[in-house]
Amino acid sequence: MAVRVVPFGEAALLVELEQRIDPAVAARAAAIADRWEALGHGPAVPTYASALLRYDPLVLDASAAEAAARAILDAPAAPLAGRLIEIPTRYHGPDLDDVARLSGMSPREVVSAHTSREHLAYFLGFMPGFAYCGGLDPRIVAPRLRSPRTRVPAGSVGLVDGQTAVYPAASPGGWRLIGTTDVVVFDARRDPPALIHPGDRVRFVEVRMAGGVPPAKSR
């Protein structure tokens, strides 16, 4: 599918990339949104395979906005300036054994696979601060639960279909839960409220502590 730039209301454009969930596509969407904001055109929201680019129609008319978007698409891809966020995690989730069984691995091997790589934050959705992170080790098999839980505790670390995330608040959810963290990934009193932003790299670090978990580290 060719890249498309289409109007999205009277003050935004939607850049549609390849319609597939893939780290490279998501990284490009995040880079487009990042570049749009860096150029001062307006706020932008990346998703799995697209980017919503907002603009002020009193500053840019529709044709100028489209030209600016296409200039970003035609320019050499710029590297993402995302941070590395480390999330200390206790691996004692209720679905860890099931994930191990489905994956043909031991629970210890699942933990090692989850902690051995950096996961790219594709975008935020579902609830404030919920970062969909891709690039999960392909050996891990974690289909969505047939019947979602009515309440997943805040700080739960979950997996589903090649992705991983931390639940910012208690909510229903159908992801496979393998651990917990005390890291607060969304706080409305913080600036910015969300800890993880699109384009950030997230690494889960196993901790074995009787008490709390150290705060998240970013760099």
Task: Give the CA count within 13 Å in the CB-facing half-sphere of 112.
Answer: 6
Arithmetic mean of pLDDT, 132-143: 95
User: How far, CA to CA in Å, does 85 sit from each of 13, 116, 142, 155, 185?
Assistant: 30, 14, 23, 15, 11
Task: Give the residue extent of every domain in the chain.
Answer: 4-74, 84-218
Length of the chain, in residues: 219
**Residue 111 pLDDT > 70:** yes
Q: Which residue has the tokens 């919920």?
A: 130
User: How far, CA to CA in Å, does 217 sit from each of 37, 86, 125, 160?
Assistant: 25, 5, 22, 24
- The tokens for 60 are 């840019």
Helix (H) or strand (E) holding 170: none
Arithmetic mean of pLDDT, 75-91: 86
- How many angstroms separate the CA atoms of 41 and 61, rounded? 11
Residues 54-77 have pLDDT tens digits of 999 999 999 999 999 999 999 887
Contact 26, 134 (CB under 8 A): yes
Residue 209 has a pLDDT of 54
- The tokens for 152 are 């997943």
84-112: b (≥16 Cβ within 10 Å) or e? ebbbbbbbebebbebbbeebebebeebbe
Helix (H) or strand (E) holding 151: strand 149-152
Q: Which residue has the tokens 């129609």?
A: 57
Residues 27-41 have pLDDT tens digits of 888 899 989 999 999
Residue 219 has a pLDDT of 58
- CATH of region 4-74: 3.30.1360.40
User: How far, CA to CA in Å, does 66 sit from each of 11, 97, 154?
Assistant: 11, 50, 40
Residue 217 has a pLDDT of 55
pLDDT band at 213 (very low <50, low <70, confident <90, very high): very low
Eight-class DSSP state of 194:
B
pLDDT band at 158 (very low <50, low <70, confident <90, very high): very high
Contact 150, 54 (CB under 8 A): no
Please measure the distance between the N-terminal and C-terminal CA atoms of the chain and give it in whole angstroms. Answer: 36
Q: Quote the pTM value.
A: 0.81
- CATH of region 84-218: 2.40.100.10
Kindly give, in sequence order, each residue whose CB lies less than 8 Å from that of residue 11, ignoring residues fewer than 6 positions away: 54, 55, 56, 57
Q: Which residue has the tokens 């935020």?
A: 124
